[in-house]
Amino acid sequence: MCGIIGCVGRGAETLDTLVHGLSKLEYRGYDSAGVAMAGDGIALCKTAGEIDELRGALADRSLAGSVGIGHTRWSTHGPPTDGNAHPHQDCHGDVAVVHNGIIENYQRLRDELVGAGHTFTSDTDTEVVPHLIEDALEAGHDPEAAVREAVSRLEGSYAIAAVVAGTEAVFAARNDSPLVLGIDDGATYLASDVPAFRDFTDRVVYLADGEFARLDGDGWTVTDHSGDRVEKTVDTVDWDPEETGKSGYDHFMLKEIHEQPRALRQCLRGRVDEMAGSVDIDDLGDLSPTGVQFVACGTSYHAAMYGAHLFRDAGIPAQAFLASEYATATPPIGDALVVGVTQSGETADTLSALRAARKRGARTMVVTNTVGSTAARECDHALYIRAGPEIGVAASKTFSSQLAALNLLALGTTSTTDTREIIAALRDLPGDLQRVLDESAAEAVAETYVDSDAYFFIGRGYQYPVALEGALKMKEITYKHAEGFASGELKHGPLALVTEKTPVFAVVTGDGEQARKTVGNVKEVEARDAPVVAVTDGRSDVERYADHVLEIPETHQRTAAVLANAHLQMVSYHVANKLGRNIDKPRNLAKSVTVE
């Protein structure tokens, strides 16, 4: 849930490269940062707070060394303090280590090391690693063997990078936490995510669980747990470094909201044949599921709920499960296809759920944004959403792209009577969404309700997951209380909380039974003096009972969900902006949740 950077081969620019890499990983969420340079000794600097705090501390120091590692920490073991920040060292200061993940047996290891005379200076689980390396060095192991020995004793999830005094190399290992190498002429990089080094190279090597990497002046090698060399493929990242910049927008989130039409075009391109009325997706083969189980977390779970609805409408039994619940109590699978939805492809709970399904013999698929991710490598099938890099912690364009990709998955593996109508709606979706973004009255709505006590969101059918996602966005970036409900559930308890200070956002599309019933729920709200914001295509007449209206073009019910969601994203963004929140890096949250 934090960021790692390592660098070999940049000479005098190594330190600046490390700090630059950390700045590119800020979107992952963090509360402290640090760097270590290795030469004849270890030079280290780390601080609680943001990277600017680290830069300030470095301005007063001179860190010498030819190779280095850096880290942004998101606290798990111990509060965000200078002492708990990474890198961590051994007793003699000859080893420095950074780590993502959780070492589950750290307390036993720590007790053992303390009993042997080691002194600890932090509350973290990570600190056991440099002390284990220290012991292995004192036992006569060379630096690489010492790091291997230390890693062999760890249980849990980890991505580890280490440097040792007197050795011009970075050593790294991974298990259930991502690491990727960047390959350049004369320099090699190591990171938890590609943006850390994308300004320098587009050639990457993804490490798999159980693999060990060494970066030195001769280049890089990857070996397995036995030390045997692993031949790795060098891939090319197909997005430009400028895609991770703000491009004139005040926040990454606002930029990424406005990138949604382009992201949808990328998701749909080459996959839809409107003339034939068909969908063709690579890697699906003859996949024809008789049942589907979706597993996901957070925003991706809302996409999974939407996906399950798509399959049920096609007559295929489908359910969406919270991955954290599924992993610990796997339900009966039968011959169901298990689909993990995860933007990063590294979400720990979702990976655990997919692995539990595979152990029970299920076919697995991942719907993800990240080529080469752990989920993409481990699952039988991968469907890429092609949204491009998303820097803002709160998902925006990846959610809309997930909805589009799940439509493609359902259309490509099932049959419905309105396939051509859906395909036509998907064709028009990027343009319709551009119109929504250009004309949205979301900022005026936000101005009106910025001081509200709480916010409720309601919807039925395909709009129910949108209501949940609207509430989640409001919570994530405004820190205000918000809840989403199936419209019919409002009267079964939540209505007791409705007052004139709790605006209700009602997503009402179409003119069918679901729309008519939701209009009835809106009337219940109106009768209790709560303000109503209707997100609607105008077909249900709900605007008669609303204080504000956010309009969407008339379209299919499936694609209406994507359009409605854009309005709610914009409302949350503008409320957060007016409150002065840290929109791109909400407190306590991380972009990639790699611990369970």
Q: Which residues are marked as active site?
A: 2, 591
Provide the token pair at 489.
């559930």
Residue entry with tokens 């059918």:
461
CA distances from 460 to 62, 226, 520 (A): 60, 54, 12
Q: Are 526 and 543 in contact (CB under 8 A)?
A: no
Q: Are 261 and 559 in contact (CB under 8 A)?
A: no
CA 392 to chain centre: 9
Name the pairing type of β-strands 454-459 and 504-508.
parallel
Phi/psi region, residue 298 (left: phi>0; alpha: psi -120 to 50; beta: rest), is left
Percent helix, strand, coil in the chain, to 5, is 40, 25, 40
- Please tell me the distance from the alpha carbon of residue 466 to that of residue 519, in angstroms, as a whole number: 17
Question: What's the first-to-final CA gap in the chain, in angstroms?
Answer: 10
DSSP β-bridge partners for residue 157: 102
Q: Is 482 helix (H, G, I), strand (E, B) or coil?
A: strand
- SS3 labels along 368-413: ECCCCCHHHHHCCEEEECCCCCCCCCCCCHHHHHHHHHHHHHHHHH
Q: Are 355 and 175 in contact (CB under 8 A)?
A: no
- Please tell me the distance from the alpha carbon of residue 116 to that of residue 129, in angstroms, as a whole number: 15
- Please tell me the distance from the alpha carbon of residue 44 to that of residue 34, in angstroms, as a whole number: 8
